[in-house]
Amino acid sequence: MDKTENLVLLGFLKNSLSTRELDKLLGYNKKKTKGWKSFEILKKYNLKNEDKGKLFLYSNSQSLKIIKELKKYNLNQLIREPPKIVQKYSNSKILAKSEEDFYKVIGGETRNIIQSFFSPLKKIVGHCQYKGCNNKDLDTVHLKLDRPKIFKNSAKELAIKRKEYFEYPIMKTMIKFLKFHQNKGVICFLCKKHHLELHRLEKKGGKELTNFKKNITK
């Protein structure tokens, strides 16, 4: 497997890039190449559109290890273990009276896991995503729903009633919580100045907030 194949497979399976985006990454022009060059690679490894983003939660090293074996096995056979980022929560559960109480216990973990998970992408983006700002000291910022809300929504879907308590599987909740971030527009990277400005406008709402968000490049 050469570097081009690795780049295409990693972009497709981990970063959910389309064939158009992959060809752009490779420097190809569809009109000149008569079709998507990256599609030929995906077809070679029997990958379909539903496989896009299946390695989203896996580290680059884990992903490349799986990709290396694609000639011998299909993708689903290779995804045998949970992503490293959530492995420490394996077989762990918590009893709590509500998602709010669960979050009080695990809230710090959700902050740390988001910072760790998006650190590589933050380095790739490189500068504040507010239009015209080149500040490189960045925060990972939630745009649609805040981090606690996303986590509590995820926990609620997995809760099992146990008398006066609910049982929550920690690893499954963390996976669902992280996977929500696979949706476009959930997070962005802003400098502290524009991060604080966003929070100020969120309290006010209205057109000023809408216009501010329009100036954040996705």
pLDDT digit string, tens, across residues 126-145: 999 999 999 999 999 999 89
pTM exceeding the 0.75 threshold for the entire prediction? yes
Give the span between the Cα atoms of 204 and 190, in whole angstroms.
19
CA count, 13 A, side-chain hemisphere, 144: 10
Label residue 29 by pLDDT band (50, 70, 90): low
183 vs 107: CA distance, rounded Å: 21
Q: What percent of the chain has pLDDT over 90?
A: 70
pLDDT for res 3: 85
Q: 175-193, pLDDT tens digit by residue?
A: 999 999 999 889 999 999 9
Q: Which two structure tokens, joined as six digits, stand for 217?
A: 């490049």
Q: Is the pLDDT of residue 33 over 70?
A: no
Reference 13, options 58, 80, 72; nearest CA is 58
pLDDT score of 38: 87
pLDDT class for 18, splitting at 50, 70, 90? confident
Task: Name the nearest CA neighbour of 88 among 116, 68, 64.
Answer: 116
| pLDDT of 34 higher than 90 | no
Q: Quick one: tokens of 103? A: 């979050």
- 34 or 133: whose pLDDT is higher? 133
**Residues in contact with 211: Cβ distance below 8 Å, sequence separation at least 6, in sequence order:** none
Q: Contact at 8 Å (CB) between 4 and 45?
A: no
Residue 210 CB neighbour total at 10 angstroms: 10
Percent of the chain's residues with pLDDT above 70: 95
User: Cα separation of 189 and 118, whole Å?
Assistant: 10
Give the confidence band of 15 by pLDDT, cuts at 50, 70, 90: confident
**Sheet order of strands, 165-169 included:** 93-96, 165-169, 160-162
Angstrom distance (rounded) from CA 128 to CA 216: 9
Q: What is the pLDDT of residue 30?
A: 57
pLDDT at position 13 is 94
Q: 140-165, pLDDT tens digit by residue?
A: 999 989 999 999 999 999 999 999 99
Mean pLDDT, residues 96-121 taken together: 94
